[in-house]
Chain A
Amino acid sequence: MVDLTPDLAQGRLRQDRAWVERVPPGYWVMGVVLLVIPAFVSPFVMFQIMGWTFILGIISLSLMFLAGYGGMVSLAQMAFAGFAGYMMAIFGNSAIETISQGWPWWIAIPLALFLATVFATLVGWLAVRTEGIYTIMITLAIAAAFFYFTRQNYDLFNGFQGFNSVLPPQLFGVDWRGPYAFYYLTLFFAVGAYALVLYISRAPFGLALQGVRDNPRRMAALGYNVTAHRVAAYAFAGCLAGIGGILLTWQSSQISPGTVGIGPAIDILIIAVIGGLRHPIGPFIGAFIYVILKTFAVDFLVNLGLAGERFQLVIGLGFLIIVFFSPDGVLGLWEKFKAARNRDPLTGESRGQDPL
């Protein structure tokens, strides 16, 4: 009993401190860096690299949420994202005036997000009937069906060409596709999504979801509705992916079947796995690595005297090496490194404290 008291006291102390003081220092550093970056880098870096990183990070985050906390690896996240983008193009404005309804943004965007969530819920309801590897296969098949459907359907999805000139609304007189505005816009949503996922992972729903992941039978015996938790996780992840999809549509100002193809769907999985599926920061790290590779691999290969179009090979090999040696991605490597630093060189045992 005596041993417990300091712990309890410390716990109460932690409770008493203001929430601002409880934010780990790493977040402060990261926040300041992200806020002031635009002062130092070119518009290209802001719009193309950072903006794209945040967007892909959000979509991968939705996969990380499902896979990390729910134990369900869904390859349909890009389809949800693309669906939201398509819905926005259909209900909002685009250059295809015969299809686009031209409704104001405050109807089109919530409607697109809502429909993406409904779509994700339906897919989730279907996918949770299966487990493990079957889920991967079924969501892959759904993503592929969505891709082929958008490519063949001209009445609603405008077939092969898709929609172009899908632009964000001119809110508050700001051009949201300008590099600065777009950087802060995507940063805002990325941080929001990150915080939301972190919050949910500690909220009752998230804890129950992790329980369902670890032992569905025990959770069912405790009275939790396992299927409902899983479907709800799909709905939430679909909404997140939808936000990412709308931002992605704005960034490239177009949406077409190529955006929701099988390649991009697998890329989302690659990003999430490279980063690590254990923590919500993983997808953003993975997205950053992926974007850097995708942007500079061509130049890198050309500099090495190889053909530039082999960048897919570089990305594939990098992915293969990471999943072969560290299933937990970069975060897993980091944890291994930390564990190695923490080991006493003489005894080989853990020192019991975290030096980092």
Chain B
Amino acid sequence: MRRFANAHPVWTALIALAVVILLWLIFAIWPQGLVDVIGKKKVFLAALFNGITLGGLYFLVASGFTLIFGLMRNVNLAHGTLYLLGGYIGFHTADITGYWLLAFPVAFVVVGFCGVLLQVLVFRRMEGEDLRQTLVTIGISIVVADLMLWGFGGDFFNISPPPWLSGPVETFFVTTVKRSGDLVYMKYPMVRIVIFIAAVILGIAMWLALNRTRIGMMIRAGVDDRDMLQATGARIQIVFVGVFAFGAGLAGIAGVVGGTFQSVAPGEDIRFLLASLVVVIVGGMGSIPGAALGALLIGLAEQFGSVYFPTYAVVLTFLIMVVVLAFRPQGLMGSEG
């Protein structure tokens, strides 16, 4: 961080200024003039929180995608399908057993197993053939999307969280001051906060596992030079299958989260595939911190866009992608070359 500050003093100053302004916007009680210009603080805080938690969801989907791509150069355009499958499995598990928490391990295991099948039956047969992988996974996603429409129907499902998580919780962020002088605190859905914290913990755990453990070392070595790792005797195919299963399982978990935040329905697969594409393009392929940063940016852009410029919200997301591509084609956190 200090090296970055030394290398780019202007950027550091700008980022610091932005952070200070943001903190002031979050914690200060807004003067009337500001409210007149950009609306109520409540709306702003809601957009900020929704954006951050949506970013958490995007991170769950995109981190699996970026992990699989980073290690194996496998282009899995069926990732959105895995997400949707996780959502359906989670919904039916929660519906049948009545335990919301049980949906997560079931979705993780089942979707992870689908990931193993994909790796063994499809990707291992066409290693290094980008275009063929793309086409085959597109074909798979079309077929499975139709099978899911057949099996689960076209209805919207909503996974409802257990009572102890549903309902709003009062946070310590002041939105306005009443005329009587009482402070009004912001209320926010408990489940979103819990899931966001879980996503952050998961992200940190992934980072630790990648950077501090033996398996993580093997995975990082595989990202850098697969052939050399194989030559040193590491059983790379097993690592591949494991990483694929884990990445797919994450997509399954994200499906349950997405079903709780929003809904599970046909078409969500493509939406989340695109979201994870944009996230990893912005953040940089194969980088977990990049996926986190990209997910946060895209989530915030989507929410602020839909609140402050509704018709151009999509363009805002797209604009971020264009600017990143124009100035840093490898993504914000991507490595050179």
A positions within 8 Å CB-CB of B: 73, 126, 129-130, 132-134, 136-138, 140-142, 144-145, 148-149, 152-155, 262, 266, 269-270, 273, 307, 310, 312-313, 315-317, 319-320, 323-324, 327
Contact = CB atoms under 8 A, between A and B. Distances in A.
A126 B33 CA distance: 41
A148 B315 CA distance: 9
B139 interface: yes
Contact of A152 (B140, B143, B274, B314): B314
Main secondary structure of the interface of A (DSSP, over half): helix
Contacts of B140: 320
A316 B144 CA distance: 9
Interface in B306-336: 310-315, 317-318, 321-322, 325-326, 329
A142, A154, A307, A312 — which one has the most chain B CB atoms within 10 A of its CB?
Answer: A312
Interface in B177-236: none
Nearest to B329: A129
Contacts of B146: 310, 312-313, 316
A269 B311 contact: no
Interface in B124-180: 129-132, 134-136, 138-140, 142-143, 145-147, 150
Given A145-B315, A145-B317, A126 B326 contact: yes
Given A73-B131, A320-B136, A126 B322 contact: yes
Nearest to A152: B311
A327 B131 CA distance: 9
Contacts of B118: none
Contact of A136 (B134, B274, B285): B134
B274 A141 contact: yes
A148 B313 CA distance: 9
B264 interface: no
Interface in B249-295: 270, 274, 277-278, 281, 285
A133 B325 contact: no
B75 interface: yes
A320 B142 CA distance: 9
B171 to A, nearest CB: 31
B313 A320 contact: no
Interface of B: 75, 129-132, 134-136, 138-140, 142-143, 145-147, 150, 270, 274, 277-278, 281, 285, 310-315, 317-318, 321-322, 325-326, 329
Given A310-B146, A319-B142, A137 B277 contact: yes
B247 to A, nearest CB: 16
11 contacts: A73-B131, A73-B134, A130-B329, A132-B130, A137-B277, A141-B281, A145-B317, A153-B311, A319-B135, A320-B139, A323-B139
Closest 9 CB pairs of A and B: A320-B139, A316-B142, A145-B318, A316-B143, A148-B314, A323-B135, A313-B146, A133-B130, A129-B329
Given A145-B315, A154-B311, 19 more contacts: A126-B322, A130-B325, A133-B75, A133-B134, A138-B325, A141-B278, A145-B314, A145-B318, A148-B314, A149-B318, A152-B313, A262-B270, A269-B138, A310-B146, A315-B142, A316-B143, A316-B146, A320-B143, A324-B139
A142 B315 CA distance: 10
Nearest to B129: A327
Given A316-B146, A323-B132, A141 B311 contact: no
B311 A155 contact: yes
A149 B147 contact: no
